[in-house]
Amino acid sequence: MDKQDDRATAEPGDVRAGTHTAAPLSPPPPRSVTHGEVYLTVQRSAAFQEVRRRYRHFVVPATAVFLAWYLAYVLGATLVPGLMAHRVAGALNVAMLAGLGQFASTFLLTWAYARHARLRRDAVALDIRWRTQDLTGGNIR
Amino acid sequence: MTGDHRTLALILFSAFIAVTLAITTWAGRRRHGSPEEFYAGGRLFSPLENGFAIAGDYMSAASFLGVSGLIALFGHDGLLYCVGFLVAWLVVLFLVAELVRNCGRFTLADVVAARMRERPVRIASGAASVTVSVLYLVAQMVGAGSLVALLLDGAGTQARTGMVVAVGALMVVYVAFGGMRATTWIQIVKAVLLLGGAAALTALVVLRFHGDLNALLNTAAEHSGHGGEFLAPGLKYGHTWTTRLDFISLGLALVLGTAGLPHILARFYTVPTARAARRSAVWAIVLIGGFYLMTILLGFGAAAVLGSDAVRASGKAGNTAVPLLALHLGGGAGSTGGTVLFAVVAAVAFATILAVVAGITLASSASVAHDLYASLRRPRGTGRGTRHGEVTVARLAAVGVGAVSIGLALLARDLNVAFLVGLAFAVAASANLPALLYALFWRRFTTRGAVWSVYGGLLPAITLVVLSPVVSGTPESLFPGRDFACFPLDNPGIVSIPLGFLMGWLGTVLSPEAADRARHAETEVRSLTGAGAA
């Protein structure tokens, strides 16, 4: 069922993705290639490099940001409790606001990641998956 | 507690047990016997179902009772648990969920071992997974014992022992007869019950303050006996540099541990594709985030409505804050409303424990059968053995893991539940996460690196706990009469997590062999595209 979903989203495709997926995973390997060579070829292909680049360009900075923001919260609570106790509005102080801010940023990053993956990665990745499985004879280990 | 509480709570307990056993029977009758069915429920759950099951697997009694209790007692310092437990899901979503679904079949070791010489890596990773699972199981079962002590009001050792054994026996039945399919549905039912119960209580708390959250916080600060300090950091962890370091250590363990928990990773194998794994993680984050926001309100609500002293008088660790709050919100002891709400909260906590232990038992039986047994039994390089034989071993392993956990839980009866959970997270973050991340992202990672990283995180974590004040040296220790404590922190994460990463790097650099380029290419292509995924 889900596979049909995936195919359906793969067809309209992403314009930028389309330019890459149009390029075959060249050169077409001879019939006798081994399993490992197929994966090495796919790994070198422009389409795969693009998927990996897009994944890393989102995930690396996003991970750095949320880890730094979380560590700032934990370290702030331990190293500068005076600042964190500063009242901002009503009963809310900096520490409580930062804690609630962690919830907000988590929800926001979750949404951004899911959107990025759906629009920028899924179609190209799925295309590579089918091509790779054709090359390896669709074998599932 | 009056007899009414007890009767009603016991009726609700029995009803939940009846429902779960019916699910187990139904799941057991469906086609079974294949590893896909037993470990992964046939991989045909929808993202929504799996999202609920993940939430049901993750929201333990320690969070429902323990964290809200900590907030009721220590205000802001209890909040760290909620924040850490939730932010950890970004690590899972970004770095682990889809890639693990694409690369692995049933366990965490599948992913790490795919690029390596399989046997040593699988044994190391399997052993670490079983260790984490048993620690986490013991924590949940000790929690079950405390729950029954609360419910039966100072019930003797016998009743607590009986409860621990009963929970252990039930989880073995669910797993051995129902496999992943029964476990998943039990977790879904539990997640709905827990979220519903928490939402109802939260609504009652908010209504009591006429929707004015500012008034709720101010009243909580007033009734806590600490005034404004209650809402600021430092009440629990701010006294000395040792406790501050402990706070940082716990913070690290919480945020990095989730992505190394075997029972959480196993949940991603129950959906058909990586895309479905991502969508189930998104659902899980929404549900878990909502739940922890409610937990925060319940904790401050307990402080505001009951006062911290009343919470502390009922149980030093604060585990009874939410049940007491329910009793009070329903109209107080002796009233019908109070009796019903109290019984419902107790039953929800009980359901929570059962669902979580079932998930962990299943994951650890998979590690025993799929990783340890399969590697230790067959000599290097021969075939996989019969697939059905492996499932039989897994069913037996569930019984064995259950028996070991019951024994340990009876020994560790008096240990603090939240500490045990924090420890399981620290071990998961030290032993499992470094190897997993290196295997997925580091081109040069080798077999020696993988083995060193697992043992290099696992052994320091365990050793530091044994040498910590938790085990000896203080009146609250496991062995209060002895003193061989020389590591000052309760949580080993701040030392053992960097050690796990460091040893993985060192083992790789000192490897006699280079990493296999083709197999790295395979892991990378598979992890990001899903080619050849099971």
User: Given a cut of 80, is residue A138 above it in pLDDT?
Assistant: no
**Phi, psi at B107, each rounded to 5°:** -130, 170
User: Given a cut of 80, is residue B349 above it in pLDDT?
Assistant: yes
Cβ neighbours, 10 Å, residue B10: 16
State how far the Cα of B246 lies from the Cα of B235, in Å rounded to an integer.
13
Confidence tier at B466 by pLDDT (50, 70, 90): confident
The interface residues of chain A toward chain B in range 15-74, judged by CB-CB distance below 8 A, are: 35-37, 39-40, 42-43, 48, 51-52, 55, 59, 62-63, 66-67, 70-71, 73-74
CA distance, residue B325 to nearest chain A CA (Å): 22
pLDDT of residue B101: 95
Residue range B325-329: mean pLDDT, rounded: 89
Instruction: Indicate the average pLDDT of chain A.
Output: 79
| Residue B251 contacts A, CB cutoff 8 Å | yes
| Residue A119 contacts B, CB cutoff 8 Å | no
Percent of chain B surpassing pLDDT 90: 48
Q: With the CA atoms of B510, B441, B284 and B24 taken in that order, what torsion angle do they form, in degrees rounded to the nearest 10?
A: -60
* B385 vs B99, more confident: B99
The tens digit of pLDDT for each residue in B248-272 reads: 998 999 999 999 999 999 999 999 9
The tens digit of pLDDT for each residue in B395-414 reads: 999 999 999 988 888 887 77
State how far the Cα of A27 lies from the Cα of B334, in Å rounded to an integer.
80
The tens digit of pLDDT for each residue in B80-123 reads: 889 999 999 999 999 999 999 999 889 999 999 998 998 999 99
Domain B3-529 classified CATH 3.50.50.60?
Answer: no
CA distance, residue A67 to nearest chain B CA (Å): 9
Task: Tell me the DSSP string of B73-99.
Answer: HHTHHHHHHHHHHHHHHHHIIIIIHHH
Token pair in block for residue B349: 């906590």
A92, β-bridge pairs: A89
- Cβ contacts of A72 on chain B, cutoff 8 Å: none
pLDDT of residue B81: 87
Question: Taking CA atoms, what residue in A is nearest to B283?
Answer: A110
Q: List the domain boundaries for chain A.
A: 2-135
ipTM for the complex shown: 0.92
pLDDT of residue B2: 57
- Cβ contacts of B232 on chain A, cutoff 8 Å: 81, 84-85, 93, 95
The tens digit of pLDDT for each residue in B151-179 reads: 666 556 777 788 888 888 988 999 888 89
Mark yes or no for CB contact A141/B244 under 8 Å: no
In residues, how long is chain B?
Answer: 534
pLDDT of residue B513: 87
pLDDT of residue B152: 65
- Cβ contacts of A1 on chain B, cutoff 8 Å: 272
Percent of chain B surpassing pLDDT 70: 94
Q: List the domain boundaries for chain B.
A: 3-529
- Cβ contacts of A62 on chain B, cutoff 8 Å: 90, 94
